[in-house]
Amino acid sequence: MPKSWKRVTFDASAEDTGQTIIRITKGRQGDTMASVERLQWHEPDGHEHTGFAAGSETGRRPAAQVIADYKKLSAQIALESDDLWDTSWGILI
């Protein structure tokens, strides 16, 4: 059974949704690339009570590799364009 991925708007952020977002875009050479935005805990002064969660984004990698890394994890999908989604990656809901 193919994996179901929840689709969110391209301008959504991990801070807004509270979940990891895989952002899929077209690369310079026409290939499909992806970056991952997730919440990361920051403790600027070393005290857990003054810490906060903020979004942090990874570098871009081929989308197929990123999707494969997150197949068994929870993440949402944000597409720059509808034609970038490969149906072999699963179903968008």
Q: Quick check: is 49 in a domain?
A: yes
State yes or no: pLDDT of 49 exceeds 80.
Answer: no
Taking the C-alpha atoms of residue 66 and residue 33, their distance in angstroms, rounded to an integer, is 9
How many C-beta atoms surround the C-beta of residue 25 within 10 A? 16
Structural domain harbouring 42: 4-63+71-84
- Provide the pLDDT confidence category of residue 75 given band limits of 50, 70 and 90: very high
pLDDT at 84 over 70: yes
For residue 90, tell me if it sits in a domain: no
List, for residues 8-18, the tens digit of each pLDDT value.
999 999 988 98
Q: How far apart are CA 40 and CA 8, in angstroms?
A: 20
pLDDT at residue 42 above 80? no
- Per the structure, the count of domains in the chain is 1
